[in-house]
Every structure is written in structure tokens, then in C-alpha cells.
């Protein structure tokens, strides 16, 4: 899964007992770069196979996009977006170890167009927006009811630009029925793409252009 400026990587301290797996960026300027990711309970990076599909979907939109990663986790979606030309990303991640490693990995990539936020996503979205977004990644921990709550929070305040894209990754469920209860404006969203791989369902929606 998933759910910033930043100190030099040399100053970041990860607990000595913390093991790391690796994340591979699959496209763009950082193609094939490998980054460490924390092995934490419930941390579920979006797989290479799914990311390849999703960023094929996003190819017409990603260049110059301003992105919000609501449950960043390993940062897999954001690193891929930035590698492929996104202009900016805010990464929200409440787990201290995961957030610290996100910050370290951004420094490793010499990335200065992203910022990490060690914060609960819903609390962050409750504050007045300081910017608006073209693309939101919504990949929360499964089976915790966070999709509905996050969409409600996103739509309560003006976080989203006209025509913004919402990528949602979830356990298999009736996602259309679920999000239709979030806000009356959701009925006007367009479902651009949808696929299920194993026990992961992923969809790309677009808000109306006006």
C-alpha cells in the first residue's frame, strides 16, 4: 500500500531491528531504481503488475499533475507518478517508520517536488485546503471502511480540481454502491477503467470537467 522539506538521508535513523524489502520503480526517469520499504504489519505495496496497468491508464494525464497520496505506505504509487512526470505530490502516512522511510527515499532520489506528512489522512483532509489536486491515490488498509470516509472528506472541502482523477484500490466489493453513499456529487463521476487482479480491485474515476 500505500498510507515531506526533508532531512538528508544520512540523518534518517531506522531501528536496527527493522528489516527492509524493496520497491522497484517500473517506468520514467527512475526506471528500475530500487528503494527500501519497511516491513510493517498491513503494509501492502501496489504490485508491479497492477502499477504497470494503472500507469498505462494514467499516461494521458500524469505529466504535470499535482498528486495526493492519501495512505502512502511504501509510496509505490507516488514514486511511480513522480518518475513519470507528475509536478508535485503530497504523501500522507501516519505510521512513523513508514513515513520516515518515505522521506529518506525522496532524499535518495534527490526529489524536491514532493513532501511527506506524518499525519492521519482524515485529520489532514479536515483542514482548509492550501492547494487542489489533479490526481488522488486512495489505497487504504483493506476492510476498515476508510474509502467511504476519505471520499466524504475529499468532497467536503475543495481539494479536487475540475476533471480530477481518483484512483481507488480495494478489496473486492461493490465499489460503485459504496461510494455512491459518500456524497451526491459522486453520481456524476465517470468510471474510466476497472480491473480485478486476485483479491485486489482497482478503479479509475474522473470528476466532471466543470
pLDDT at residue 8 tops 60: no
Average pLDDT over residues 78-99: 96
Closest CA to 104 of 119, 116, 118, 95: 116
Closest CA to 65 of 134, 143, 146: 134
Task: Please count the residues of the chain.
Answer: 210
- Residue 194: what pLDDT? 95
Which architecture does CATH list for 9-206?
A: 3-Layer(aba) Sandwich (3.40)
Closest CA to 88 of 107, 70, 62: 62
pLDDT at residue 177 tops 50: yes
Q: How does residue 6 score in pLDDT terms, banded at 50, 70 and 90?
A: very low
Residue 122, class by beta-carbon neighbours within 10 Å (0-12 exposed, 13-18 middle, 19+ buried)?
middle
- Give the chain's mean pLDDT: 87
Average pLDDT over residues 151-161: 93
Torsion, Cα 198 30 10 112, to 10 degrees, reads: -110
Give the whole-number percent of the chain exceeding pLDDT 90. Answer: 70
Other CB atoms within a 10 A radius of the CB of residue 86 amount to 24
- Residue 99: what pLDDT? 95
Q: How does residue 81 score in pLDDT terms, banded at 50, 70 and 90?
A: very high
> What's the predicted TM-score (pTM) here?
0.87
Q: How does residue 45 score in pLDDT terms, banded at 50, 70 and 90?
A: confident
Distances (CA, A) of 48 to 43, 103, 196, 202, 208: 15, 22, 14, 14, 30
Q: Which residues contact 61 (CB under 8 A, 6 or more apart)?
A: 134, 135, 165
- Residue 111: what pLDDT? 97
Cβ contact 103:93 at 8 Å: no
Query: What's phi and psi for 88, nearest 5 deg?
Result: -160, 150
Query: What's phi and psi for 68, nearest 5 deg?
Result: -125, 125
pLDDT at residue 47 tops 60: yes
pLDDT at residue 103 tops 70: yes
Q: How far apart are CA 183 and CA 190, in angstroms?
A: 14
Amino acid at each position: 500500500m500505500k498510507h515531506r522539506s526533508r532531512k538528508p538521508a544520512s540523518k534518517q535513523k531506522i531501528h536496527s531491528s527493522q528489516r527492509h524489502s524493496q520497491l522497484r520503480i517500473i517506468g520514467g526517469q527512475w526506471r528500475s531504481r530500487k528503494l527500501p520499504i519497511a516491513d510493517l504489519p498491513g503494509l501492502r505495496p501496489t504490485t508491479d503488475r497492477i502499477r504497470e496497468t494503472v500507469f498505462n491508464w494514467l499516461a494521458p494525464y500524469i505529466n504535470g499533475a499535482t498528486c495526493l497520496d492519501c495512505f502512502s505506505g511504501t509510496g509505490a504509487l507516488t514514486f511511480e507518478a513522480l518518475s513519470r512526470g507528475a509536478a508535485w505530490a503530497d504523501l500522507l502516512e501516519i505510521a512513523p517508520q513508514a513515513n520516515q522511510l518515505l522521506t529518506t527515499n525522496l532524499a535518495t532520489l534527490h526529489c524536491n517536488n514532493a513532501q511527506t506528512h506524518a499525519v492521519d489522512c482524515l485529520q489532514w483532509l479536515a483542514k482548509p485546503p492550501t492547494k487542489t489536486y489533479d490526481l488522488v491515490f486512495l489505497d487504504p488498509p483493506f476492510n476498515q471502511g476508510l474509502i467511504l470516509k476519505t471520499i466524504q472528506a475529499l468532497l467536503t472541502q475543495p481539494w479536487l480540481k475540475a476533471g480530477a482523477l481518483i484512483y481507488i484500490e480495494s478489496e473486492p466489493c461493490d465499489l460503485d454502491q459504496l461510494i455512491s453513499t459518500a456524497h451526491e456529487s459522486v453520481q456524476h463521476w465517470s468510471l474510466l477503467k476497472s480491473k480485478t487482479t486476485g483479491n485486489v480491485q482497482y478503479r479509475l474515476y474522473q470528476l466532471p470537467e466543470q
